[in-house]
């Protein structure tokens, strides 16, 4: 129904009435924001939502995505009671098959996540699988992950129920009205131009599903989605189902790359083709026409048939059945398969709620946590993995297409730690790419950048897996080179900004927690906070001059921190922020002989007296201008050399040639992780996230209390006064063959007391190390805890000091060892 009058204004306008937009509307209303209007060009659910198969799996290994899914599984069975609208929830559970040992290990990881979140994931043998589903042939199946609490639901039913719930609370929905254009006004508010008139609002949300790119382009931006074709078939009635009351669980099976289940008394089979996957609307470069509603496509049955045949091998009783219905529809897909939930890069008060490829399962949680972010400035889960700004401006288009196909085709394939996938690589490379490749470099990717992960001395390839593997010793040798001699690393993937102007210092002091150095050349490590004091970013900032600061952030924070800087500028302030990430390359030269190498290539006095730890200077290296910063993430004597990209190769070559005398070695990010764990350095995105404050993260030494007001100051002080409910701990884990990777449960005397954030093996100290957030009573050093890794419990001792060089003398040294 098209509700009569179009209001002339609203606090928030949501564009798109699929499960994602409607869920956001409902959750905003539940939180008290009812002056919200949703506009849909057709009927609600007439995009991707209406034809979805409706499965809601809780089998998710990523803690934050699992929280998003879990909310749906909790909410959907209750929606009818909450809203009065009929919802058909089928709580039949699900079983995922493991065909390889590594998949069984992965199941244990998921089961651990289940313990943290509260969903059941039991690892069962083939006999138990057959007990739960007597029709299935378990040939080749090693184990099943039995998630008893999940199921499937009617997608239109839950969407209509959430719409009713939202309306009951006062939110509004207008259907059959297309948003034609969106303009930002001078005041910062938005004008939404629709077929039936204009609406003024403070915030806009792009929940346009397959049209998300078109809606983004109305405001001069873009969105990294590709619209993939996906097919399921429904058969005629299955005689055996007619005779049974129990519904068979949803089966998820890598062998046919398919899900299959009971749909009333029929069989429903959905295929994720592992090759030749297709996009929709290719004649229009993937763009749907505005008139498209409830649109279906012709599937390529030649491509689907081999997968369907495999399903028939699994359930032979389905072999002779004819097909009653074929549903081939469009799914929006992002490069990493996660939705885009959060602010649009470069814009104020323009939000994304799109890119959901499993949007029925993720719809409720997406709406809940995005609503929290919009209303309170933070969500209660770590949103870094769904923040739309995790993809740079380069991503929409070719890169996203290639990644989306790859992700779609791997829907039922385990992505093992260490596994590199080939699609859309080399999106951003430095002039060193081939030079390092010649030396055995194995690259990994961060925000499109290829960056060295490790160097293969003998052409061997990594055998990816959860346990220590065939390159363990090689990483140990890279660490040894840095700890004993000198190492060189291309870390150009840093996000880099020049912040200049008379008010540059005021800006940086106002938007971040630490004090900018009053001295030219001074370096500050500082954190950006939300109004509620949660950590939203981290930068290393060097004062290059009175009106010139050089700001460095992590690769994936490039767009996000640019917004933080740019949006922090007040009217009439004289500040310019320039993103120079592509203009500068970065070489990390670190190790006790770093000074010996560098001083042969520069006239600058590199002694402690002239060039102290945590200072930076513009110097000449091998005749080229370089911003040299005496800082690093590995805890050794060394410099980060920031070199104009065009000169990166000659500077690298000069360092490499000069370093031969000192037995210089290349190293990669695996070695960096090992060494930063030994130094107890925390990482943004894992230890430092929007869930926590500097108090919980143990970062108060970077909190400049005496400074002028800055964002998040009062909220942080309040937390400091009132106390915290969780606290970071540094753990020494008694494990020989695997390490903490993040998202694992932490126990004290058998009770769940916390969650790990990241970890790794310290090759120099031969310790397995990690970080976790735990109840404060378990945080004192010396507390004996245990962590669950791959289904086993390992003792984990809370330690206080870095296990390597606790006094930090090595990085500050004046001597060559």
Ligand X SMILES: Cc1cc2nc3c(=O)[nH]c(=O)nc-3n(C[C@H](O)[C@H](O)[C@H](O)COP(=O)(O)OP(=O)(O)OC[C@H]3O[C@@H](n4cnc5c(N)ncnc54)[C@H](O)[C@@H]3O)c2cc1C
Binding site for ligand X (CB under 6 A): 15-21, 39-42, 46-49, 51-55, 178-179, 207-211, 215, 230, 232, 327, 329-332, 354, 356-361
Query: In this structure, are residues 742 and 466 in contact, taking their beta carbons and an 8 Å threshold?
Result: no
DSSP annotation of 207 reads: -
- Beta carbon of residue 40, minimum distance to ligand X (angstroms, whole number): 5
C-beta closer to ligand X: residue 9 or 102: 9
- Beta carbon of residue 429, minimum distance to ligand X (angstroms, whole number): 33
C-beta closer to ligand X: residue 39 or 601: 39
CA dist 210 → 52, 61, 182, 213 (Å): 14, 26, 18, 8
- Beta carbon of residue 322, minimum distance to ligand X (angstroms, whole number): 20
Q: Which two tokens stand for residue 142?
A: 């090693």
C-beta closer to ligand X: residue 25 or 552: 25
- Beta carbon of residue 412, minimum distance to ligand X (angstroms, whole number): 13
Q: What is the DSSP string of 165-182?
A: HHHHHT-EEE-S--EEEE
Query: In this structure, are residues 193 and 56 in contact, taking their beta carbons and an 8 Å threshold?
Result: no
C-beta closer to ligand X: residue 128 or 178: 178
3-state SS record for 342-384: EECCCCCCEEEEECCCCHHHHHHHHHHHHHHHHHHCCCCCCCC
Pairing of strands 784-789, 792-799: antiparallel
C-beta closer to ligand X: residue 46 or 526: 46
Q: How far apart are CA 347 and CA 352, in angstroms?
A: 11
C-beta closer to ligand X: residue 411 or 529: 411
- Beta carbon of residue 719, minimum distance to ligand X (angstroms, whole number): 36
Q: How far apart are CA 399 and CA 448, in angstroms?
A: 9
Q: How far apart are CA 735 and CA 797, in angstroms?
A: 11
Q: Is 572 exposed, middle or buried (0-12, 13-18, 19+ CB in 10 A)?
A: exposed
Q: Which two tokens stand for residue 259?
A: 């899900």
C-beta closer to ligand X: residue 47 or 759: 47
C-beta closer to ligand X: residue 173 or 588: 173
- Beta carbon of residue 409, minimum distance to ligand X (angstroms, whole number): 15
- Beta carbon of residue 138, minimum distance to ligand X (angstroms, whole number): 23
Q: How far apart are CA 712 and CA 694, in angstroms?
A: 10
Q: How far apart are CA 805 and CA 591, in angstroms?
A: 13
Q: What stretches of 377-429 show up as alpha helix (H) in DSSP?
A: 398-409
**In sequence order, what are the residues at sequence separation of 6 or more whose Cβ sits closer than 8 angstroms to the Cβ of residue 264?**
none
- Beta carbon of residue 104, minimum distance to ligand X (angstroms, whole number): 25
Query: In this structure, are residues 504 and 549 in contact, taking their beta carbons and an 8 Å threshold?
Result: yes
C-beta closer to ligand X: residue 178 or 612: 178
Name the one residue in this structure whose structure tokens are 């946590």: 369
Strand arrangement, sheet containing 584-590: 616-621, 624-629, 638-644, 584-590, 487-490, 665-666
Q: How far apart are CA 523 and CA 544, in angstroms?
A: 9
- Beta carbon of residue 304, minimum distance to ligand X (angstroms, whole number): 12
C-beta closer to ligand X: residue 412 or 662: 412
> What stretch of H or E contains 718?
helix 713-722
C-beta closer to ligand X: residue 93 or 209: 209
C-beta closer to ligand X: residue 49 or 430: 49
Q: How far apart are CA 520 and CA 528, in angstroms?
A: 22
**What phi and psi, each to the nearest 5 degrees, are found at residue 444?**
-125, 175
- Beta carbon of residue 223, minimum distance to ligand X (angstroms, whole number): 11
C-beta closer to ligand X: residue 210 or 740: 210
Rounded to 5°, angle at Cα 199 from 197 and 204? 130
Name the one residue in this structure whose structure tokens are 């069962």: 124
C-beta closer to ligand X: residue 356 or 665: 356
Rounded to 5°, angle at Cα 670 from 804 and 768? 45
C-beta closer to ligand X: residue 230 or 390: 230
C-beta closer to ligand X: residue 69 or 510: 69
- Beta carbon of residue 210, minimum distance to ligand X (angstroms, whole number): 5
C-beta closer to ligand X: residue 52 or 523: 52
Question: Helix and strand tally (H, E) in the chain?
Answer: 19, 38
- Beta carbon of residue 12, minimum distance to ligand X (angstroms, whole number): 15
Q: Which two tokens stand for residue 689?
A: 């996230």
C-beta closer to ligand X: residue 20 or 590: 20
Query: In this structure, are residues 612 and 537 in contact, taking their beta carbons and an 8 Å threshold?
Result: no
Q: Which two tokens stand for residue 204?
A: 């806009």
Name the one residue in this structure whose structure tokens are 């513009």: 618
Q: How far apart are CA 741 and CA 758, in angstroms?
A: 5
Closest CA to 769 of 676, 634, 636: 676
Query: In this structure, are residues 330 and 227 in contact, taking their beta carbons and an 8 Å threshold?
Result: yes
Q: Is 457 exposed, middle or buried (0-12, 13-18, 19+ CB in 10 A)?
A: middle
Rounded to 5°, angle at Cα 332 from 104 and 323? 75
- Beta carbon of residue 425, minimum distance to ligand X (angstroms, whole number): 27
**In sequence order, what are the residues at sequence separation of 6 or more whose Cβ sits closer than 8 angstroms to the Cβ of residue 282?**
none
């Amino acid at each position: 129904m098209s509700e009569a009058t179009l209001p002339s204004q609203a606090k928030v306008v949501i564009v798109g009435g699929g499960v994602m937009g409607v869920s956001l509307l409902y959750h905003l209303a539940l939180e008290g924001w009812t002056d919200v209007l949703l506009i849909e060009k057709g009927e609600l659910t007439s995009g991707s939502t209406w034809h979805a198969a409706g499965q809601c799996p809780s089998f998710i290994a990523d803690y934050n995505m699992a929280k998003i899914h879990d909310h749906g599984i909790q909410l959907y069975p209750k929606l009818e009671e909450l809203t009065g609208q009929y919802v058909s929830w089928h709580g039949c559970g699900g079983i995922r098959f493991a065909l390889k040992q590594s998949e069984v290990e992965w199941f244990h990881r998921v089961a651990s996540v289940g313990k943290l979140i509260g969903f059941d994931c039991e690892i069962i043998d083939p006999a138990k699988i057959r007990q739960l589903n007597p029709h299935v042939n378990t040939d080749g199946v090693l184990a099943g992950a039995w998630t008893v609490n999940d199921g499937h639901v009617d997608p239109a039913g839950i969407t209509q129920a959430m719409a009713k719930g939202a309306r009951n609370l006062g939110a509004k929905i207008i259907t059959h009205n297309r948003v034609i254009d969106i303009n930002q006004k001078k005041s910062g508010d938005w004008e939404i131009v629709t077929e039936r008139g204009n609406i003024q609002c403070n915030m806009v949300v792009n929940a346009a599903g397959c049209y998300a790119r078109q809606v983004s382009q109305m405001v001069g931006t873009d969105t990294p989605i590709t619209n993939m074709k996906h097919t399921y078939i429904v058969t005629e009635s299955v005689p055996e189902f007619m005779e049974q009351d129990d519904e068979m669980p949803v089966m998820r099976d890598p062998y046919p790359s398919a899900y299959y289940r009971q749909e009333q008394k029929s069989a429903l089979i959905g295929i994720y083709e592992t090759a030749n996957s297709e996009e929709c609307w290719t004649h229009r470069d993937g763009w749907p026409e505005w008139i498209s509603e409830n649109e279906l496509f012709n599937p390529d049955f030649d491509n689907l048939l081999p997968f369907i045949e495999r399903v028939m091998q699994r359930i032979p009783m389905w072999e002779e059945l004819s097909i009653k219905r074929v549903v081939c529809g469009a799914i929006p897909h992002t490069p990493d398969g996660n939705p885009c939930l959060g602010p649009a890069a470069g814009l104020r008060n323009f939000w994304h709620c799109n890119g959901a490829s499993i949007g029925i399962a993720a719809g409720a949680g997406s709406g809940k946590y995005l609503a929290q972010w919009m209303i309170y400035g933070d969500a209660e889960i770590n949103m870094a993995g769904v923040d739309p700004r995790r993809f740079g401006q380069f991503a929409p288009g070719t890169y996203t297409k290639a990644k989306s196909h790859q992700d779609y085709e791997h829907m039922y394939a385990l992505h093992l730690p260490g596994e590199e996938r080939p699609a859309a690589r080399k999106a951003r490379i430095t002039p060193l790419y081939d030079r390092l490749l010649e030396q055995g470099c194995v690259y990994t990717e961060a925000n499109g950048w290829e960056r060295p992960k490790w160097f293969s001395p003998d052409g061997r390839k990594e055998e990816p897996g959860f346990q220590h593997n065939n390159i363990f010793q090689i990483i140990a040798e890279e660490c040894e080179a840095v700890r004993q001699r000198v190492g060189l690393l291309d870390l150009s993937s840093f996000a880099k900004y020049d912040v200049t102007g008379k008010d540059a210092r005021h800006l940086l002091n106002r938007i971040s927690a630490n004090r900018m150095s009053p001295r030219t050349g001074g370096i500050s490590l500082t954190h950006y906070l939300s109004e509620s004091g949660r950590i939203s970013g981290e930068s290393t900032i060097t004062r290059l001059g009175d009106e010139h600061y050089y700001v460095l952030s992590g690769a994936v924070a490039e767009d996000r921190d640019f917004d933080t800087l740019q949006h922090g500028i007040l009217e009439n302030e004289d500040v310019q922020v320039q993103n120079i990430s592509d203009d500068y390359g970065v070489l990390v030269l670190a190790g006790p002989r770093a000074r010996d190498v560098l001083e042969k290539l520069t006239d600058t006095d590199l002694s402690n007296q002239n060039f102290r730890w945590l200072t930076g200077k513009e110097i000449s290296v091998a005749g080229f201008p370089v911003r040299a910063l005496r800082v690093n993430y590995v805890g050794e004597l060394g410099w980060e050399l920031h070199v104009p990209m065009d000169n990166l190769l000659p500077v690298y070559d000069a360092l490499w040639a000069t370093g031969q005398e000192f037995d210089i070695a290349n190293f990669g990010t695996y070695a960096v992780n090992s060494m930063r764990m030994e130094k107890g350095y925390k990482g943004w995105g894992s230890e430092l996230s929007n869930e926590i404050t500097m108090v919980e993260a143990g970062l108060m030494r970077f909190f400049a209390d005496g400074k002028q007001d800055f964002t998040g100051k009062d909220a942080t002080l309040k937390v400091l006064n009132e106390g915290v409910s969780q606290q970071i701990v540094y753990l020494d884990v008694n494990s020989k063959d695997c390490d903490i990777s993040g998202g694992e449960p932490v126990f004290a005397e058998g009770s769940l007391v916390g969650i790990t954030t990241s970890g790794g093996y310290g090759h120099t100290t031969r310790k397995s190390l990690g970080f976790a957030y735990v109840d404060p009573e378990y945080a004192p050093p010396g507390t004996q805890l245990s962590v669950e890794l791959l289904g086993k419990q390992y003792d984990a001792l809370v330690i206080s000091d870095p296990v390597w060089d606790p006094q930090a003398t090595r990085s500050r040294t004046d001597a060559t060892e």
